Amino acid sequence: MHRRTLGQGFEVSAVGLGCMGMSQSYGPNPGSRDDMIAVLRSALDLGVTFFDTAEVYGPFVNEELVGEALEPIRDEVQIATKFGWRIEDGKSVGVDSRPEQIRRVADASLKRLRTDVIDLFYQHRVDPDVPIEDVAGTVGELVKDGKVRHFGLSEAAAPTIRRAHTVHPVTALQSEYSLWTRDPEAEVLPTLAELGIGFVPFSPLGKGFLTGTVAPTTNFADGDIRATIPRFTEENRTANAELVDHVAELARRKGASPGQIALAWLLAQQPWIVPIPGTRRTSRIEENAGATQVPLSADELSDLDTLAQRIGVHGARYNESQMQYVNH
């Protein structure tokens, strides 16, 4: 797989791996911990070197899983993790990006990840009670201390990105972006282009919907976050089926999968965009990595660019409580 460069010269594989689903949010895991470790290690054989986790995934157990899996190949991979939540009794109970909390999280994450440096340390959500300048300055100190290599933000608005970047260079922004979630295009993407900051889209496959594997009749398992998301009600899945059918038809013509088309479209937007689709299966990692080899013509890209606007997307991407800390 070819490589891409985010901000500050940070080079990673063109497609990364979102590890959250191995520990939470999509119902019971289909395999054991050993199975997940094998899947994580198999990603490197397929060219994936960029792995995304967070302390809040689990909480804590996803970092432990990633740390154990990648320890033998640590020098060959890049690990991103995140701070910014207050965790009590195993649950996140609000945001917390106070400088002392950031330092505590960094030290704890380093232990769980079995490493002496975090390649990319994101603020998971903007904390309205802590100036972003203080956050950037604290991460800058961690960089000077050798505990962190790069600073990132997640779901931050363009003015916040600018303010942070003046204190310590932002390497990447991680936010939701896909064929059916186009929010970053108006203000965020132009800001990133201007400042030389990379973009890491999460949920690039629409939490599975754009792969064509989620039907209107799908019953979500206990613990599956999609059961709480307005866009995934049965009514909205039915209404959104036309969008994924269109992607699937193009995929058939190209000899690709719908997911590969969705990822290829993202990769074609900018050379500094690196999507991180999540999966629990090596076969899916191989499929996602193959998206880098799917060429899209100018006409095909133009058609996909207007798809959501032309067909319409039904349902919000998050419920009200989930949107509380988005786009600050």
pLDDT per residue over 179-220, tens digit each?
999 999 999 999 999 999 999 999 999 999 999 999 999 999
The pLDDT score that the predictor gives to residue 199 is: 99
User: Quick check: 223 and 24 in contact, CB under 8 A?
Assistant: yes
DSSP of 116-155: S-EEEEEESS--TTS-HHHHHHHHHHHHHTTSEEEEEEES
The pLDDT score that the predictor gives to residue 44 is: 98
- Residue 31's pLDDT band, with cuts at 50, 70 and 90, is confident
Q: Distance between CA 33 and CA 224 in Å, rounded?
A: 19
Q: Distance between CA 211 and CA 248 in Å, rounded?
A: 8
Instruction: Give the residue carrying structure tokens 């520990």.
Output: 23
The mean of the pLDDT values for the chain is 96
Percentage with pLDDT > 70 across the chain = 100
From 26, 57, 122, 325, the catalytic residue:
57
Query: Does residue 29 have a pLDDT over 80?
Result: no
pTM: 0.97
In the chain the beta strands, taken as DSSP E runs, fall at: 3-5, 11-13, 17-18, 50-52, 78-83, 85-88, 91-95, 118-123, 148-154, 170-176, 198-202
Long-range contacts of 106-111 (CB under 8 A, 24+ apart): 106/142, 106/147, 106/148, 107/147, 108/55, 109/55, 109/63, 109/81, 109/83, 110/147
- Residue 82's pLDDT band, with cuts at 50, 70 and 90, is very high
Q: How far apart are the first and last CA of the chain?
A: 35
Query: Does residue 30 have a pLDDT over 80?
Result: no
Using CA atoms in the order 68, 272, 205, 132, what is the torsion angle rounded to 10 degrees?
Answer: 70
The pLDDT score that the predictor gives to residue 25 is: 85
Taking residues 138-167, what's their average pLDDT?
98
76 vs 322, residue with greater confidence: 76
Query: Which token pair is 140?
Result: 């800058």
- Residue 86's pLDDT band, with cuts at 50, 70 and 90, is very high
Q: Distance between CA 288 and CA 274 in Å, rounded?
A: 12
- Over the stretch 236-257, which tens digit does the pLDDT of each residue have? 999 999 999 999 999 999 999 9
* 3-211+263-294: CATH superfamily: NADP-dependent oxidoreductase domain (3.20.20.100)
The pLDDT score that the predictor gives to residue 28 is: 81
Taking residues 26-44, what's their average pLDDT?
91
The pLDDT score that the predictor gives to residue 226 is: 96
The pLDDT score that the predictor gives to residue 137 is: 98
- Residue 322's pLDDT band, with cuts at 50, 70 and 90, is confident
In 234-313 the beta strands, taken as DSSP E runs, fall at: none
User: Where are the domains positioned within the chain?
Assistant: 3-211+263-294
Query: Does residue 296 have a pLDDT over 80?
Result: yes
Query: Does residue 260 have a pLDDT over 80?
Result: yes
The pLDDT score that the predictor gives to residue 100 is: 98
User: Quick check: 4 and 14 in contact, CB under 8 A?
Assistant: yes
Q: Distance between CA 78 and CA 48 in Å, rounded?
A: 10
- Residue 225's pLDDT band, with cuts at 50, 70 and 90, is very high
Is residue 122 part of the annotated active site? The answer reads no
